[in-house]
């Protein structure tokens, strides 16, 4: 799954989709946990008139009345991610997948590989940082839902990152659940933002697995979650693709 994301563009970055280019605000988020339930920029709207706005990372259903109710629901159901295979089956995900698709910009994400050394009694989890080789900033498929807190009157966009079956590289890293975020190239990103997509096209894009040979994965120090800058914690042991 994708619960730990990174977006580092201190000088901003150009967001280019089908000939339209806009500037991302300077951003320095070396590590953000979805379990903080805080904001992350998303790209929404049509390819000709898209906007880049902060949204609450956790899709909140329209029938949830207050943030307190949403917080209580986290004990039963996690909506940081949306499984591609269930996008059009889920009462929660389907309306967003049909009407409110977005892109989640990223410069890399974090995942754990589980391994039991010979003679060891316990499985050890090794963290990795995963990015794209030739594309410093890339797009994850997302879905969002405009939501209003009936108690406070606050209105905000809430979102989930779409996940799909792992490619060859991510199968080796996320070897327990074998999942990965749905990463879209620029052409696919443009399609994802188009209105009135057919259900078959939504499913095709949502379940696409990015080319493993275009991705890099490096082990990092196990303390990265408490580091002031986890991207300085590389051990520089790149995982080869088997």
- CA gap 231, 234 in Å, rounded: 6
Dump pLDDT digits (tens) for 35-47.
999 999 999 998 7
Higher pLDDT, 147 or 239: 147
Q: String of b and e for 72-110 (b: at least 16 CB within 10 Å)?
A: eeeeeeebbbbbbeebeeeebbbebbbebbbbbbbbbbb
CB atoms within 10 A of CB 237: 12
Higher pLDDT, 89 or 1: 89
Separation in Å, CA 220 to CA 41, 83, 99, 108, 237: 25, 27, 38, 13, 8
Determine the pLDDT at residue 121: 85
Domain boundaries, the chain: 4-112+135-213
SS3 state of residue 62: coil
- CA gap 157, 121 in Å, rounded: 45
Which pair of structure tokens corresponds to residue 197? 């997509």
- The answer, as to whether pTM is greater than 0.85, is yes
Strands 4-9 and 27-33 come out as antiparallel
Dump pLDDT digits (tens) for 164-196.
999 999 999 999 999 999 999 999 999 999 999
Dump pLDDT digits (tens) for 100-154.
999 999 999 999 999 888 888 888 898 999 999 999 999 999 999 999 999 999 9
Determine the pLDDT at residue 242: 44
Q: Does domain 4-112+135-213 have CATH number 3.90.1680.10?
A: yes
Rg, C-alpha atoms of the chain:
18
Dump pLDDT digits (tens) for 186-233.
999 999 999 999 999 999 999 999 999 999 999 888 888 887 777 775
């Amino acid at each position: 799954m994708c619960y730990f994301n990174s977006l580092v563009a201190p000088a901003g970055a150009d967001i280019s989709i089908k000939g339209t280019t806009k500037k991302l605000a300077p951003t320095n988020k070396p590590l953000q946990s979805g379990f903080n339930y805080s904001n992350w920029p998303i790209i929404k709207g049509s390819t000709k008139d898209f906007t880049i706005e902060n949204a609450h990372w956790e899709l909140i259903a329209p029938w949830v009345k207050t943030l307190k109710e949403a917080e209580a629901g986290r004990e039963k159901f996690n909506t940081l991610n949306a499984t591609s295979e269930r996008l059009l089956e889920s009462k929660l995900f389907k309306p967003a997948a049909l009407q409110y698709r977005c892109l989640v910009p990223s410069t890399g994400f974090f995942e754990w590989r589980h391994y039991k050394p010979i003679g060891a009694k316990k499985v050890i989890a090794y963290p990795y940082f995963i990015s794209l080789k030739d594309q410093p900033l890339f797009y994850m498929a997302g879905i969002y839902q405009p939501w209003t807190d009936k108690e406070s009157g606050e209105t905000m966009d809430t979102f989930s990152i779409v996940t799909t079956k792992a490619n060859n590289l991510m199968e080796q890293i996320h070897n327990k659940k074998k999942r990965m975020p749905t990463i879209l190239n620029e052409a696919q990103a443009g399609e994802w933002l188009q209105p009135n997509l057919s259900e078959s096209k939504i499913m095709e894009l949502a379940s696409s697995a990015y080319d493993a040979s275009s991705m890099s994965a490096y082990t990092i120090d196990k303390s990265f979650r408490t580091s002031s800058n986890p991207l300085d914690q590389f051990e520089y042991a790149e995982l080869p693709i088997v």
